[in-house]
């Protein structure tokens, strides 16, 4: 298996290491290049006294380097992979250090497996129950407080609330964090941003966005108060939205969903000091959607995941929730895509229906993935945006995607012109997240190729990944 | 954008009520969702209404198919460049200003092979549109125009046949130059009647614009400009007039040059003739100042103020003023004379203006002989070497390469280093290979040779000028690899710069050769 240059460049943590990695991608800078299977290695002279030893596994993709850079992957790792992408490195006998790394990886994987198989430590049932009860109590208190706060907001009116400083919202979010409901805290912290945002195409007006956000909070609050009335899956979904973690025992009991999962796109978001990476997958046989979220910090890099445009043949386990979306990787391996299509893509009307159905099941959802088949991209006709909205959108062009059954506005994104350029005015398949107002595209299929939005940074290009 | 106007949707009134607050909002109208609200507290009831109507509204938003104005399909004009070339271009674009020369090269290659960048690059190209090279519109112009239209931008105005009588100074100058290029006579005829009414800066710009399509017919007008009120206009006319050898201005300069320089021939007793150059330094005069020859009070180089006047006169004189003797003789005598520097440089400027082949060739020959000590009475100094390098630079590129190639084969290191600072922008393949061989020879030589090589700092810049073939890039890389360990940083840095640039240029060319790429994939 091999990665394309574009895919490797997208692994870079930032623009400067992307460029630095390209600088290292010259075979003459490297010594002792070699490979065994998907593992490649080489030595490169850096500013240190002795050459850096770099080894990378393309199947991960993962890499290790002796340079002191704290970026991951470092420019040498990127450069090594780029050298291989330009022309495949020849097979060779691994030197000690490369062999040691491969062995270490194998033994770590084996250790993780044995740890998973080991019988769990005896648990103190009573202490656990006590802890659980204590958390329930704290969350219950936080819910009461949020309810009171929301009612107070409604009494005073949203027009007054829009003038509140950030500290007003942050205080409530902080109390929810104390009350061990981080999911609610995140939603509350997002409210001032919604209220203060400039009007943009593909998004509700700021006051409407605030109203919708408060409405979702109220619905979630209500559902959390009546967990007993919900089905177990729905209740689990509500608990996840409140911010209860899913325990390892719970996950271990979840069934496997084996399929050939097409990796459509990666999306990376920075959430205070955390890097959250979503991998979006669609089952080629089942048509099921899955989102695998991994978190990385400065100290611990993101775990390896199949790149956009690859196929993950194996099993996913879905976290409890209704409708199911969040998942984790189980056994399986990544390989080249069988076919550049978006499985389960349908017309705009069908996508809108499925979004409404999803809302009916979980009305507090903020965004939901949609798949559109053979839509054309273009601008919203002036008549459609109407005199009122048009004046508010100002000079920003309002883009949309649609077919003969209707159209969806596209959420503002600086990379939309690239999307339009690649579509070239012809019908394309589109994958993105829909929030009821705007579609935020992540991947596009045209002419037998899959193009993905770059996961990181605001590069004004699309990546052809398959 | 939102389908709020639909009668069945209770969202807008509910949002209005929520904005006002439960204390001030009017009681709700009964609607299909009001049954869901069971709270007694008005604030709680409003919150429940907001939540229910919001979810209902979100599930029903959307636009009809008529709301979309689809982008017109883009017809593919040519075939796409290989993916490697596209990735390379994106890398060069992100590199910014430093890589502009390489971007230019990329577009030149694309234009030559008729290939176009892929669609995923269009937006990046659009963002760099103002800084793209002049060949870019041929390669990607149609696509970028299409994208601009699809994004709803106003099409770029085409200012053809703009009116030269209106606008800012630069606009008027550009428009007048275009007019002049179409119809030189008509443009001057149109300018003459209105010229005196224009402001000084406009007059100056328009006279400068006369450089396009300059012909003897412009002479009376330019001569009149020498008496203009504005110094800038006078200066512009003084710049243009030496380019007209038949003008009154050139005649005056020729007369002054002949007065200043004469060759006296004495017949020797045993046959043959000796020639001596008699130099009469000119005096400062108002007529000279009118023609742009003025004393520089701070002139120190080459013998003082009056020597400066002499150089200025010779530089503006037409070459036919020196027609009574062959160029060779003039230059040889100039080098030997007491006033070698002003006379040589004056003649050099005159020859440079016209690029007269006889004169440039003679200059290159004589300076070469002088530096080799074959001209009696002329010492081998660095000034002579500098004159040699300048004289060689006047020659056509092929001739320059032939002569410098001979010097390289003769292993004249200090001369080659001196002349490499000038010369053609791009070397031919054969010359590049020879130069690289020579560099290999010098870098393998003694420490002193390597020091000499590093000193003038010309090696690093060669990367832009050498012929970018794979062989040459490999030769340059070998140079760097074989550089002895412990060699000072100066030479290593310069060679690394050369290798890096040459490698990149060779790689850009390789990207455009699909045969090799496909061949490799077929094997692997």
* Interval B227-274: pLDDT, tens: 888 889 999 999 899 888 888 999 999 999 998 888 888 887 777 788
Q: What is the mean pLDDT of residues A392-406?
A: 73
- Closest residue of chain A to B503, computed from CA coordinates: A26
Work out the pLDDT band at B8, boundaries 50, 70, 90.
Answer: low
Once rounded to an integer, what is the mean pLDDT over residues A80-105? 86
Residue A73 has pLDDT above 90, yes or no: no
B74 to A158: CB separation less than 8 angstroms, yes or no: no
Question: For residue range B472-497, what is the model confidence (pLDDT) as tens digits?
Answer: 988 888 888 888 776 667 888 888 88
In this complex, the residue of A152, A407, A459 whose CB is nearest that of residue B68 is A407
* pLDDT tens string B59-71: 887 788 888 888 8
Residue (of B154, B169, B74, B158) closest to B116 by Cα position = B74
Question: Which among B412, B402, B420 has a CA at the least distance from the CA of B465?
Answer: B420
**Nearest Cβ partner for B47 among A154, A205, A389:** A154
CB within 8 Å: A436 and B87: no
Span B271-281, pLDDT tens digits: 778 888 888 88
Q: A157 or B29: which carries more pLDDT confidence?
A: A157
Residue owning tokens 């007529």: B287
User: What confidence score (pLDDT) does residue B487 get?
Assistant: 62
Please give the pLDDT value at position B519. 39
Whether the Cβ atoms of residue B67 and residue B96 lie closer than 8 Å to each other? no
CB burial of residue B351 (10 Å; 0-12, 13-18, 19+) = buried
Quote the CA–CA distance of B82 and B518 in Å, as a whole number. Answer: 10
Percent of chain B with pLDDT over 70: 93
Q: Is the pLDDT of residue A391 over 60?
A: no
Q: Residue A270: beta bridge partners?
A: A275
pLDDT grade, residue A299 (50/70/90)?
A: low
For residues B511 and B88, the answer to whether their CB atoms sit within 8 Å is: yes
pLDDT at A397 over 60: yes
Is residue B10's pLDDT more than 70?
yes
CA–CA separation, B265 and B287 (whole Å): 31
Q: Tell whether the model's pLDDT for residue A384 goes beyond 50.
A: no
Q: What is the mean pLDDT of chain A?
A: 85
Q: Which chain A residues contact residue B60 at CB under 8 A? A: 356
A-contacting residues of B 104-133, CB under 8 Å? 118-124, 126-127
Residue A223's pLDDT is 92
The Cα–Cα gap between A450 and A464 comes to 6
Q: How far is B397 from chain A (nearest CA, A)?
A: 33
- Chain B window 438-477: which residues touch A at a Cβ cutoff of 8 Å? 477
Average pLDDT over residues A118-145: 86
State the smallest CA–CA distance between residue B323 and chain A in angstroms: 58
Average pLDDT over residues B170-197: 88
Rounded Cα gap, residues A193 and A200, in angstroms: 13
From A159, A359, A424, residue closest to B58, measured CB to CB: A359
Question: Helices in B261-381 by DSSP H: which ranges?
Answer: 286-290, 305-316, 327-336, 340-354, 357-371
Q: Do B147 and A87 touch (CB under 8 A)?
A: no
Is the pLDDT at B162 greater than 80? The verdict is no
Residue A4 with chain B: CB contacts under 8 Å: 83
Our CA-based measurement puts residue A121 at a distance from the nearest CA of chain B, in whole angstroms, of 45
Contact criterion met (CB below 8 Å) for A451 and A465 = yes
- From residue B1, alpha-carbon distances to B62, B185, B445 in Å are 8, 60, 76
Peptide bond into A323 cis (omega under 30): yes
Q: Quick check: B174 contacting A, CB < 8 Å? A: no
pLDDT at A279 (0 to 100): 93
Mean pLDDT score of chain B: 84
Which residue among A211, A359, A406 places its CB closest to the CB of B62? A406
pLDDT confidence of residue B5: 45
**Is residue B159 predicted with pLDDT exceeding 70?**
no
In this prediction, residue B156 carries a pLDDT of: 52
State the pLDDT at residue A427. 92
B489/A contact by beta carbon, under 8 A = no
Top pLDDT among B366 and A85 is at B366
Q: Does residue A34 carry a pLDDT above 70?
A: yes
Nearest to B62 among A15, A202, A352 (CB): A352
Q: Rounded to 5 degrees, what are φ and ψ at A299?
A: -80, -40
Q: How far is CA B405 from CA B412, B427, B435, B459, in A?
A: 10, 11, 8, 16
pLDDT tens digits for range A225-283: 988 899 999 999 999 999 898 888 888 889 999 999 999 998 888 777 788 889 999 99
Q: Does B69 touch chain A (CB under 8 A)?
A: yes
Task: Count CB atoms within 10 A of the CB of residue A212.
Answer: 25
CB contact under 8 A, A218 and B48: yes
Structure tokens at B306: 């009056």
Q: What is the pLDDT of residue A221?
A: 93
Tell which residue, A337, A364, A352, A362, has the closest CA to residue A281. Answer: A337
- More confident call, A455 vs A132: A132
- Inter-axis angle of helices B470-482 and B429-443, to 10 degrees? 10
Mean pLDDT of the region A93-106: 87
C-alpha to C-alpha distances, B16 to A393, A437, B26, B480, nearest whole angstrom: 21, 19, 10, 74
* Nearest Cα residue to A262 out of A313, A315, A323: A313
How many angstroms separate the CA atoms of A291 and A325, rounded? 6
Distance of CA A315 to the CA centre of its chain: 19
Per-residue pLDDT at A123 exceeds 90: no
* B161 pLDDT above the threshold of 70: no
Average pLDDT over residues B384-410: 89
How many cross-chain Cβ pairs, A to B, lie less than 8 Å apart? 235
Rounded CA separation A362/B357 (Å): 87
Res B517: pLDDT: 45
Interchain contact, B42 vs A155, CB within 8 Å: yes
User: Taking CB atoms and an 8 Å limit, are A418 and B83 in contact across chains?
Assistant: no
Q: What percent of chain A has pLDDT over 90?
A: 36
Mean pLDDT across the stretch A187-199? 87
């Amino acid at each position: 298996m091999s990665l394309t240059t574009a895919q490797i460049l997208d692994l870079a943590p930032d623009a400067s290491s992307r460029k630095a990695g390209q600088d290292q991608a010259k075979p003459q800078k490297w010594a002792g290049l070699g490979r065994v299977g998907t593992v490649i290695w080489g030595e490169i002279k850096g500013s240190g006294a002795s050459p850096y030893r770099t080894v990378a596994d393309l199947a991960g993709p993962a890499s290790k380097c002796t340079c002191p850079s704290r970026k991951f992957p470092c420019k040498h790792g990127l450069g090594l992979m780029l050298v291989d992408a330009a022309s495949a490195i020849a097979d060779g006998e691994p030197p000690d250090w490369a062999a040691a790394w491969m062995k270490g990886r194998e033994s770590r994987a084996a250790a993780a497996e044995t740890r998973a198989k080991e019988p769990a430590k005896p648990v103190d049932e009573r202490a656990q129950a006590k802890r659980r009860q204590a958390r329930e109590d704290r969350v219950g208190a936080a819910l009461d407080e949020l309810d009171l706060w929301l009612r107070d907001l409604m009494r005073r009116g949203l027009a007054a609330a829009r003038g509140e400083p950030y500290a007003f919202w942050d205080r409530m979010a902080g109390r929810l964090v104390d009350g061990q409901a981080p999911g609610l805290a995140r939603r509350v912290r997002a409210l001032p941003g919604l209220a203060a945002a400039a009007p943009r195409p593909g998004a509700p007006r700021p006051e409407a966005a605030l109203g919708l956000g408060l409405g979702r909070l109220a619905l979630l609050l209500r559902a959390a108060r009546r967990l007993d009335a919900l089905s177990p899956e729905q209740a689990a979904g509500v608990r996840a939205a409140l911010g209860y973690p899913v325990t390892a025992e719970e996950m271990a009991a979840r069934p496997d969903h084996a399929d050939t999962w097409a990796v459509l796109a990666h999306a990376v978001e920075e959430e205070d000091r955390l890097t959250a990476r979503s991998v979006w997958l669609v089952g080629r046989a089942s048509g099921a959607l899955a989102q695998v979220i991994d978190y990385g910090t400065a100290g611990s890099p993101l775990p390896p995941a199949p790149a956009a445009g690859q196929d993950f043949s194996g099993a996913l386990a879905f976290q409890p929730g209704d409708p199911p979306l969040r998942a984790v990787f189980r056994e399986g391996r990544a390989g080249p895509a069988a076919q550049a299509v978006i499985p389960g893509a349908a017309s705009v009307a069908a996508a809108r229906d499925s979004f409404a159905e999803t809302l009916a099941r979980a009305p507090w959802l903020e965004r939901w993935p949609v798949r559109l088949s053979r839509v054309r991209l273009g601008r919203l006709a002036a008549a459609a945006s109407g005199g009122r909205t048009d004046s508010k959108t100002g000079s920003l062009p309002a883009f949309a995607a649609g077919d003969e059954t209707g159209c969806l506005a596209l959420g503002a994104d600086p990379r939309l012109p690239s999307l339009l350029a690649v579509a070239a005015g012809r019908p394309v398949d589109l994958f993105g997240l829909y929030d009821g107002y705007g579609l935020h595209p992540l991947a596009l299929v045209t002419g037998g190729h899959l193009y993905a939005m770059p996961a990181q940074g605001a590069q004004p290009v699309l990546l052809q990944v398959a | 954008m939102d389908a709020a106007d639909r009668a069945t949707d209770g969202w807008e009134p509910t949002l209005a009520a929520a904005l006002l607050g439960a204390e001030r909002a009017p009681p709700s109208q009964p609607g299909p969702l009001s049954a869901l609200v069971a709270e007694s507290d008005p604030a709680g009831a409003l919150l429940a209404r907001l939540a229910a109507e919001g979810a209902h509204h979100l599930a029903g938003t959307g636009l009809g198919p008529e709301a979309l104005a689809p982008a017109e399909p883009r017809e593919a004009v040519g075939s796409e460049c290989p993916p490697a070339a596209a990735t390379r271009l994106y890398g060069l674009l992100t590199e910014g200003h430093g890589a502009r020369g390489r971007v230019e090269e990329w577009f030149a290659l694309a234009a030559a092979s008729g290939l176009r960048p892929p669609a995923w690059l269009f937006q990046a190209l659009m963002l760099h549109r103002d800084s793209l090279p002049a060949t870019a519109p041929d390669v990607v112009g149609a696509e970028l125009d299409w994208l601009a239209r699809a994004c709803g931008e106003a099409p770029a105005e085409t200012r053809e046949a703009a009116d030269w009588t209106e606008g800012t100074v630069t606009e008027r100058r550009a428009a007048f130059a275009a007019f002049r290029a179409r119809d030189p006579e008509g443009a001057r005829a149109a300018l003459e009647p209105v010229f005196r009414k224009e402001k000084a800066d406009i007059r100056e710009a328009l006279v400068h614009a006369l450089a396009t399509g300059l012909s003897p017919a412009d002479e009376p007008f330019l001569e009149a400009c020498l008496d203009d009120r504005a110094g800038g206009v006078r200066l512009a006319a003084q710049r243009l007039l030496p380019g007209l050898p038949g003008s009154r201005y050139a005649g005056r300069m020729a007369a002054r040059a002949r007065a200043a320089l004469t060759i006296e021939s004495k017949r020797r007793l045993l046959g043959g003739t000796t020639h001596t150059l008699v130099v009469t330094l000119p005096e400062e005069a108002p007529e000279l100042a009118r023609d742009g020859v003025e004393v520089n009070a701070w002139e120190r180089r080459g013998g003082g103020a009056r020597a400066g006047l002499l150089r200025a006169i010779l530089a503006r004189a037409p070459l036919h003023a020196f027609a009574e003797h062959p160029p060779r003789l003039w230059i040889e005598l100039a080098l030997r004379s007491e006033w070698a520097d002003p006379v040589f440089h004056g003649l050099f400027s005159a020859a440079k203006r016209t690029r007269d082949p006889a004169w440039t060739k003679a200059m290159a020959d004589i300076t070469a002989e002088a530096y080799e000590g074959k001209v009696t009475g002329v010492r081998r100094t660095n000034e002579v070497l500098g004159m040699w390098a300048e004289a060689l630079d006047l020659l056509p590129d092929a001739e320059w390469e032939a002569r410098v190639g001979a010097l390289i084969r003769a292993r004249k290191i200090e001369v080659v280093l001196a002349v490499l600072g000038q010369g053609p922008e791009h070397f031919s393949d054969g010359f590049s290979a020879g130069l690289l061989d020579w560099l290999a020879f010098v870098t393998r030589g003694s420490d002193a040779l390597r020091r000499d090589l590093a000193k003038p700092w010309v090696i690093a810049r060669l990367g832009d000028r050498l012929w970018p073939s794979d062989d040459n890039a490999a030769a340059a890389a070998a140079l760097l690899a074989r550089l002895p360990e412990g060699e000072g940083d100066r030479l290593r840095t310069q060679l690394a710069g050369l290798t890096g640039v040459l490698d990149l240029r060779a790689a850009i060319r390789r990207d455009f050769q699909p045969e090799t790429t496909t061949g490799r994939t077929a094997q692997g």
